[in-house]
Chains A and B, each alone.
Chain A
Amino acid sequence: MAAHEILAATNAVVTLDVALPGTVWPWLVTVNMWAKSIGTGVIFMLMLLLKRYPQQVGKLRFQTTVVAIVFIHIFLLFTLADLHQPLRMWHIFFYPHVTSAITVGAWMATAFVGLLFLLAFLSFIKKDDAAFDKTLPWVVALAIPVTLYTAGLMSQCTARELWQMPTESAQMIFAALLSGSAFMILLGGSQLNWEAKRSLSNILALSAFMSFVLYMSEYVFGPMKAEEVAAVLEYIKGDGPYTVMFWIGQWVAYLLPMLLIALSRSSKNESILKLAAILAIVGLAVVKHVWLMIPQLLPMS
Chain B
Amino acid sequence: MQLGFLVDLHLCMGCKGCEIACKVENEVPLSTWRLRVKYVDVGTFPETKRTFTPLRCNHCENAPCERICPVSALHYLENGIVNIDKERCIGCAGCVMACPYGAIYIDPQTQTADKCTYCAHRVASSMMPACVVACPVQANIFGDLDDPTSNISKYIMENQAGVQVRKPEKGTNPHHFYVGGGNVNLNPLASHRVEGHSLFNKITTLPVGGHH
Contact = CB atoms under 8 A, between A and B. Distances in A.
Interface residues of B, number: 62
A14 B105 contact: no
Given A15-B39, A20-B105, A103-B70, A83 B92 contact: yes
Nearest to B68: A156
Contact of A23 (B89, B100, B200, B212): B212
Interface string A278-301: 000000000000000000101111
A145 to B, nearest CB: 16
A11 B191 CA distance: 7
Contacts of B170: 158-159
A17 B42 CA distance: 15
A102 B93 CA distance: 11
A23 B97 CA distance: 9
Interface stretch (A58-66, A88-96, A191-199, A244-252): A88-96
B64 A157 contact: yes
A301 B42 contact: no
A28 B209 CA distance: 12
A24 interface: yes
Contact of A159 (B67, B70, B91, B100): B100
A1 interface: yes
B193 A14 contact: yes
Contacts of A81: 211
Interface of A: 1, 3-4, 6-7, 10-21, 23-26, 28, 81-86, 88-89, 91-92, 95-97, 99-103, 106, 153, 156-160, 227-228, 231, 296, 298-301
Given A12-B40, A13-B194, A299-B193, 10 more contacts: A4-B189, A10-B190, A21-B105, A84-B90, A84-B112, A153-B68, A156-B98, A157-B97, A159-B64, A159-B99
Interface of B: 32-33, 36-44, 50, 55, 64, 67-72, 88-94, 96-102, 104-106, 111-112, 170-172, 183-184, 187-194, 197-200, 203, 205, 208-209, 211-212
**A-B complex: 6 closest residue pairs judged by Cβ atoms:** A84-B91, A300-B102, A158-B64, A3-B189, A12-B191, A16-B39
27 contacts: A3-B189, A6-B190, A10-B42, A10-B184, A12-B191, A12-B192, A14-B39, A20-B33, A21-B212, A26-B211, A26-B212, A82-B93, A84-B92, A85-B91, A88-B71, A88-B89, A96-B70, A97-B71, A102-B92, A153-B94, A158-B100, A159-B99, A298-B188, A300-B99, A301-B55, A301-B102, A301-B188
